Amino acid sequence: MDRQKLLTVFGVAWLSAALLTWFLYAKTKSPKTEKTVKVVAALKELPAGTRLIKDHLKMVTVVEKEMPAGAFTAPADAMGHALLYPVAANEPITAARLATMGGAEGVAATIEPGMRAISVAYTDASGASGLIQPRSHVDVLYTRAGNLFESMTVTILEDVTVLSVGRVTEIQQSSAITAKANVTRSSNQTATLMVTPEDTKKLELAKNQGKLSLALRNPMDRSVQADASPVTAEQIEPMLLMRSDTKRPPRMQANVKDKSAWARLVGEDEPAKPKQEPKKEPPKPRLVVDVFRGEKHVQEIFQ
């Protein structure tokens, strides 16, 4: 092979190596161009219940594949709706965080359809030492005081969402909680719970009949108790009745579908029982004739 051919082969090999090196560098080091899209986001931090206007919104650019589900691409689509949850500045606004166009403004907009808001008073001792915050999940315990046989505690509601604590409707940051703990405050507070209409009546009756306590629970724990029977003094100290001179009276097994049993249970007057008419005796026969047919004996009765 002569010198010219050798230089040609060497030059082609060097050029191929240079092109391959450039190609690999371009694929690994050069910035990748991805398709982007503009979505509606909050211009500043907005609390729950805020009805959105143009001054609350702005457009931000996000990668198309990272676009949140239900995000809006035009501010007009989000304007006029109330926020169900607080949003941070620059956070994209999605349909799941908004109430309907005809929804109420303010905290009332955060109440889910078919639910009601009712307040329960509690102290630090009966409310997890003030650790309950808005959007926490709690169980409601009812305690009836009384003598040895009447006292009991039962869980009447489970996995209930706290709408607000006092007038605070947003979760406070850890720094705000620490600052609040250093300030002297009253131990008496109220928690507004979001419950069904049937549970509002149950809570209102329990508030007037005994004491309520709130048990804080993990919001990811959606389990319920398999046994909802009340806890009595016997379960706390089994030997209590044996040391007592009295015996437990037999428990009344009330059938709530029986109007009389329900009236006795809630202390109402029993419904009047319908009067029973006396049984009418059949009319006496006017004439009885004995008829004998061989060994058979029958009586013919004539009225």
- Give the integer Cα–Cα distance in Å for 107 and 165: 12
Is 288 contained in some domain? no
Q: Could you tell me which residue, 216 or 183, shows the higher pLDDT?
A: 216
Which of the pair, 252 or 226, is modelled with greater confidence?
226
pLDDT given at position 275: 65
pLDDT higher than threshold 50 for residue 160: yes
Task: Dump pLDDT digits (tens) for 23-60.
Answer: 777 766 655 667 889 999 999 988 877 888 889 999 99
> Do the domain assignments include residue 96?
yes
Percent over 70 (pLDDT), the chain: 71
Q: Does 183 reside within a domain?
A: yes
pLDDT exceeds cutoff 70 at 157:
yes
Place of tokens 């039962």: 154
Residue 252 lies in a domain: no
Q: Does pLDDT of 178 surpass 70?
A: no
Pair 259, 271: CB distance under 8 Å: yes
Predicted pLDDT of residue 102:
54
Q: Are residues 164 and 212 in the same domain?
A: yes
State both tokens at 15. 């050029």
Question: Which pLDDT value is given to residue 229?
Answer: 80
17 and 106 together in one domain:
no
Average pLDDT over residues 82-107: 78
Question: pLDDT value at position 182?
Answer: 46
Q: Report whether pLDDT(111) > 60.
A: yes
Q: Evaluate whether residue 216 is within a structural domain.
A: yes
Q: Specify the number of domains making up the chain.
A: 3
Residue 25 structural domain: 1-33
> What Cα–Cα distance (Å) separates residue 256 from each residue in 128, 205, 227, 249, 267?
34, 17, 19, 20, 13
Do residues 104 and 7 both lie within one domain? no
Q: What is the mean pLDDT of the chain?
A: 77
| Greater model confidence, 69 or 245 | 69
Measuring CA to CA, which residue among 136, 139, 120 is closest to residue 189?
120
Which one of 189, 222, 255 terminates a domain?
Answer: 222
Residue 27 lies in a domain: yes
Q: What pLDDT, in 10s, does the model give residues 257-301? A: 566 665 655 455 666 666 667 777 777 766 777 777 777 777 776
Tell me: do 208 and 121 sit in the same domain: yes
Give the residue from 172, 197, 222 where a domain finishes.
222
pLDDT confidence tier of residue 118, bands split at 50, 70 and 90: very high
CA dihedral 139, 145, 148, 149 (to 10 degrees): -70
- The model's pTM is 0.53
